[in-house]
Amino acid sequence: MVSISKSPPRGNNYILVVLDSCRYDSFIAARPRTMRKLGKLERRWSYASWTAPSHYNLLMGLMPHSSPKHVFASEYYKRDFVRFQDRLGQVDFEFKSLIPALYLPTFLRNSLGYDTNAFVSLPVLNPKTPINSGFDRYRLMEKHNDMRAMLREMRFSEERPSFYLLNVGETHYPYALPDEPPDEWPRISGVHGVFKHLDEHVTGGKLPKRRSPFFDQAKLDMLRARQIAAVKYLDTVFEELFDLAPRDTYITITSDHGELFGEDGYFGHGPIQHEKVLEVFLLEGKLR
């Protein structure tokens, strides 16, 4: 594992990795070994059921919550934000530190001198969106499913600490690995071409009638197996990330939301109110 002689000035390097759409029990079923080396695995709950609003919350510093009982929201936020003292190596970090922007990248760059970077896989997070605020470098990757390509672009300076957001798409539908030809990806009618169908609706066109019943469970089970296989594959990529990142880099791994594979008649995520689309994982720790 690569090491440096001392921690970066004014704080830890911090990497936030979001396995897009990866639901909690898929992560558990994959039994990742490398990622689990970071620390305790926590069962948490996303603040949102789809990618864009969830990432906005994450970049406000709001990690998926633990849904505590008998606690005022303000007290929970206060306790959860204390964990940023460990993540950033800043003993005096508080929620009020983010005011007025209430945006972690802006605070890290302007107040703590971080080099701020984002590599995203999903077009809904493209650089033209409001998510891209406070970043020195923000890039939509050429492929939606290649975390290893992100690692090739990562650089760490000894002059200033770095923050990286990595939005990882291998765990997002169609749960494809980088070396899998697109013509072999599973295709579900109605999932691809969503913007085209929305435009047809707005301009008065007729949406195509569904000619088949809801996805059969065998296909849904196959899709969930693909997501589990993607987590297993990504565990090998994390070996490379851990070797690349300097000593004392703090890494958080989580998901922006879960995914439905036929439970109660649902597939995917988005306009869905269901436990499995909000149930996510969180694990984190510092490289030694």
pLDDT for 83-121, tens place per residue?
999 999 987 777 777 888 889 999 999 999 999 999 999
Is the Cβ–Cβ distance between 118 and 137 less than 8 Å?
yes
Give residue 203's pLDDT band: very low, low, confident or very high (50, 70, 90).
Answer: very low
Say what the pLDDT of residue 212 is: 52
pLDDT for 135-144, tens place per residue?
999 999 999 9
pLDDT for 126-171, tens place per residue?
999 999 999 999 999 999 999 999 999 999 998 999 999 999 999 9
The answer as to whether 1 is a domain residue is: no
d(CA 56, CA 120): 13
Say what the pLDDT of residue 242 is: 97
The answer as to whether 196 is a domain residue is: yes
The answer as to whether 270 is a domain residue is: yes
Residue 105 or residue 217, greater confidence: 105
**How much of the chain exceeds pLDDT 70, in percent?**
87
Say what the pLDDT of residue 206 is: 42
**Averaged pLDDT, 222-249:** 96
Say what the pLDDT of residue 288 is: 82
**Averaged pLDDT, 66-91:** 87
Q: Is the model's pTM score more than 0.85?
A: yes
Domains held by the chain: number? 1
CATH number for 256: 3.40.720
Beta bridge partners of 15: 164, 251
Largest CA distance in the chain: 64
The answer as to whether 2 is a domain residue is: no
Task: Give the domain extent around 114.
Answer: 14-181+188-286
The answer as to whether 9 is a domain residue is: no
The answer as to whether 236 is a domain residue is: yes
Q: Is the pLDDT of residue 37 over 90?
A: yes
Give residue 270's pLDDT band: very low, low, confident or very high (50, 70, 90).
Answer: confident
Say what the pLDDT of residue 154 is: 98
Average pLDDT over the chain, rounded to whole?
87
Say what the pLDDT of residue 200 is: 43
In angstroms, what CA-CA distances link 194 with 3, 21, 81, 207, 256?
Answer: 45, 17, 37, 11, 20
**Averaged pLDDT, 17-33:** 97
The answer as to whether 51 is a domain residue is: yes
The answer as to whether 237 is a domain residue is: yes
